[in-house]
Amino acid sequence: MSTLKAGVIGYPIHHSKSPIIHGHWIEEYDLTGTYETIEIAPENLKEDIQKLVDQGFHGFNATIPHKENIMALCDEVDETAKAIGAVNTILIKDRKLFGSNTDVFGFIQNIKQEVPHFDFKNKRAVVLGAGGAARAIVYAFKQEDVSEIIITNRTREKAESLIELAPDQVRIIDWELREYALKGSDLLVNTTSLGMEGQLALELDLTQLPTHALVNDIVYTPLMTDLLSDAKAQGNDIVTGIGMLLHQARPAFEKWTGILPDVDDALIKKVLS
């Protein structure tokens, strides 16, 4: 490959950690190139993307608020992105845009790297929340043959809109009854913003959760959320949220460079500092 030209589009975008991640890999794999943040206002999406094509970009990531709207501008969208209804990675080839979604990969690979013995097959999972991240995670569970997916969300209708992703596996439980969902579960994932710095606390008593269950929080500020500390204190395996962010970046880098990069301790340290 020549010199990598890539970036992340969003609005606002200054907070993005993606330049640190891709910058680390450009260095680690002895490539030359840039990965920059590119602020694009929603009303300029079409024209500004055309500029990236004209400038010879290999591709880019898309984040809030472009993940859904960019789909209509892609020449092709992969199956996963279609199912989730959001594109976060674009490859530009022969001036054409190929859209994909790497969040499913990121979620699964993070857990597989952190807890290699964990097997998703025929397990019962509980998902707190029903936003964009939950969509990717429910789809990931379906792919990994999770047999039961219990979704609990403050707004019940939003949870119901996820049923179509895995109609035979998904069950909805009212948010007020969320603690009942924990009994007999093998995996618990928080996809809500509760517990994040500056947000309300996630109120959840884990007493009913079996100690063999794996607990993952996709919130990573703070890295050790109250949910994870409580789970750890109870003897559960825990997986922090930073890994999903790092692993979802890997297939994007691979599409642009042909190299599927690793998530190593040096990268985790850089992103957290």
Residue 88 or 257: the one with the smaller Cβ distance to ligand ATR is: 88
Q: What is the DSSP string of 41-109?
A: -GGGHHHHHHHHHHTT--EEEE-TTSTTGGGGG-SEE-HHHHHHT---EEEEETTEEEEE--HHHHHHH
Residue 16 or 257: the one with the smaller Cβ distance to ligand ATR is: 16
Nearest approach, Cβ of residue 134 and ligand ATR (Å): 6
Nearest approach, Cβ of residue 80 and ligand ATR (Å): 16
Nearest approach, Cβ of residue 159 and ligand ATR (Å): 8
5, 67, 142, 255: the active-site residue: 67
The 76-77 sheet, strands edge to edge = 33-39, 4-10, 59-62, 89-93, 96-100, 76-77
Nearest approach, Cβ of residue 179 and ligand ATR (Å): 14
- Cβ(100)–Cβ(255) under 8 Å? yes
Closest CA to 69 of 87, 48, 50, 89: 87
CA angle 71, 73, 74 (to 5 degrees): 70
Residue 34 or 193: the one with the smaller Cβ distance to ligand ATR is: 193
Residue 67 or 250: the one with the smaller Cβ distance to ligand ATR is: 67
Nearest approach, Cβ of residue 170 and ligand ATR (Å): 15
Q: Which residues sit at the interface with ligand ATR, rule CB under 6 A? A: 129-134, 153-155, 158, 191-194, 200
Residue 52 or 136: the one with the smaller Cβ distance to ligand ATR is: 136
Q: Is 67 noted as a catalytic residue in this protein?
A: yes
- Cβ(127)–Cβ(163) under 8 Å? no
Residue closest to ligand ATR when measured from CB atoms: 131
Peptide bond into 12 cis (omega under 30): yes
Report helix, strand and coil shares of the chain as percent, to nearest 5.
40, 20, 40
Residues with catalytic annotation? 67
